[in-house]
Structure 1
Amino acid sequence: MSNPESFIDEVTEEVRREKLFTVFRKYGWIGIVLVLLVVGGAAWTEWQKARDRAASQAFGDAVLGALEAENPAARRDALAAVPADGTRAAILQLLLASDPAEDRASAQTALESVSTNPDVSQAYRDLALLRWVANSLPQDGIPVAERRAALESISAPGRAFRTMALEQLAYLEIEAGNTDAAITVLRTLTQDQEAPAGLRQRAQQMIVALGGEAEAG
C-alpha cells in the first residue's frame, strides 16, 4: 500500500505546484508592480525633500544677500525682487514691513514671530532665528547664553543654515571674550566644504584679526 500512497502523494504535490505556478504566472506581476511602487515612492519622496531643501537654501541665501544692501531703499528693492510665494512671501512681507537699520525693534519682533510660528517650515524658522540673533546687540540685554542656545539649535548637521549659525556662534564667543573658542569655531568653518566660499574667506580673515595664524593655502 505504501507505493500507491506515495504515488498519490507525489501526484497531489505536483498538482499543487502546478496550481501555484499558474497563479504566479497570472498574478505575479502584481507583486512586481507593488515592489516598484514602494521603491519608486521612496525615491520620489527623497527627491522632493532634496528639492525643497535646495529651494529653502536658495531663498534664504537670496534674503540674506538682500539684507546686506547698504541702504534701506536698496534693501527693500532687493527683497522685493526675491521670488517667493506662500510662506516665503509672508516672510518677505514681514521683512519689508520693518527695516533693521531704520526700525530694528520692529524688525526683531517680526523675526521672532516667524521663528516661533509652528505653521512656518523649519528652514524659514531657522532663517528668522539666525537673523534675529545677528541683529541683536549687547545693549538689548539678551544674555549671550540665550543667543548661543538659539544658534546651537540651528547649527546641527542637516539644518539649512548650519554654517551661518556657526559663524554667528564664533562672533558670540568674541563678544564674550572667548577668543580661543572663537578661533576654534572659525578654523572649523574654513575647512567645512558645506560653507560658501565667501563665508570660509571671512572666517580666515577673522582668525587673522583675532591674532590666529593664517592657514597655508
Structure 2
Amino acid sequence: MSDTDSFIDEVSEEVRRDQLYGYFRKYGWIAVTAVVLIVGGASYNEYRKAQISSAAQATGDALLNALNENESEARVSALEGATLEVSEAEVIRQFLLSSEQVTAGDNAKAAATLDAFLNTAPETSQIYKDIAELKALMLAGDSLALDERRSRLEALAQPGGSLSLIASEQIALLDVEAGNAEAAIERLQAIILDAEATAGLRQRASQLIVALGGEPETLPSLPAAQ
C-alpha cells in the first residue's frame, strides 16, 4: 500500500470517528434517557414489590394478632379495630368477625355484619358475596320473614350459581318449616340427581327425605365397561 493510500485511509477513519462523535453528541441523550428509564423502572418495580410484600405481611400480622386474643369478645374488638393495609383482605376480616360473633353467641350481630358487608363492598368477587349472603341468611334464621328468606335463597339457587345446590337445600328446609313436605321432598330428590351434588350433600338430602317419610332417589348406574 502506498503512502498516499495509507494517508487516505487515516483521513477516512478520522472522518468516520468525527461523524460518530457527532452522532453521540447529537443523539446520545436518547441512549442515556433509555438507560435511566430502564434502571429507574426496574428500581420502581422492586420498590413496589417490597411495598406490596410489606403491606401484605402487616395485614396478615394484624389479623393474626386479633385472633390471638383469649376471649371471643376481645377477638371481635381486635378484628374491628385492626388496620388492614391491603384492601382485598377486608372480606377475610368480615368472615372472621362474623365467625367470632357466632362463637360469642351473637348470631344476629354476625348476620348483621355480613349484611352490612354486602351493602358496602360492591367490588368484592361474586363468590364471596354469595357465601356472605348464604351465611347471613342461615344465621338470621326465623328473625327474618320466611318469604324474605325464600326470595333471597331463590336468587342464590339459580342454575349455574356457585352455591345453587346448597341454597336449594336451604329452600327445602323452608318448605319443611312451612309444612310443605311434598315440595321439600321434590326439591331434595332433584339435588340427589344433580351431577354437581357432593356426596355429603346427597347424604343429607337422603336423610331428610327419609325423615319426611319419602324414599330417596338413586343415581342411575353407569354401564359396565366392555
- 1:114: Cα distance to partner? 2.5
Larger Rg: 2
**Which residues in structure 2 correspond to 1:141-156 (within 5 Å)?**
142-156=144-158
Provide the residue aligned with 1:177 in structure 2: 179
Partner of 1:204: 206
Instruction: For 1:101 and 1:211, locate their aligned partners in 2 and report how far apart those are by CA, in whole Å.
Output: 37
Aligned pair count reads 134
Hey, what's the Cα distance between the residues in 2 that align with 1:162 and 1:88? 21
Please tell me whether the aligned partners of residues 210 and 216 of structure 2 are also in contact (alpha carbons under 8 angstroms). yes
Contact 1:183 1:210 in 2 (8 A): yes
RMSD: 2.3
Q: Which residue of 2 aligns with 1:92?
A: 95
| Residue 118 of structure 2 corresponds to residue 115 of structure 1 | yes
Distance in 1 of aligned mates of 2:122 and 2:89: 15
Q: Deviations for 1:129-177, whole angstroms, at most 9, x for unmatched residues?
A: 1111212332x2x221110110111111221111110110100111111
Q: Residue 216 of structure 1: CA displacement? A: 4.9
In structure 2, what residue type is equivalent to 1:192? D
SS in 2 for 1:91: helix
Please, which runs of 5 or more residues in structure 1 have no aligned partner?
1-71, 77-84
Q: Measure, in 1, the Cα distance between the counterparts of 2:145 and 2:208.
A: 23
Paired residue secondary structure (2:102) = coil
| Structure 1 runs, 4 residues or longer, greater than 4 Å off | none
Q: What TM-score does the superposition give when structure 2 sets the normalisation length?
A: 0.54
1:90-139 per-residue CA deviation (whole Å, 9 max, x = no partner) reads: 3333324412661112101112123333132211111111111212332x
- Structure 2 alignment gaps of length 5 or more: 1-70, 76-87, 220-226
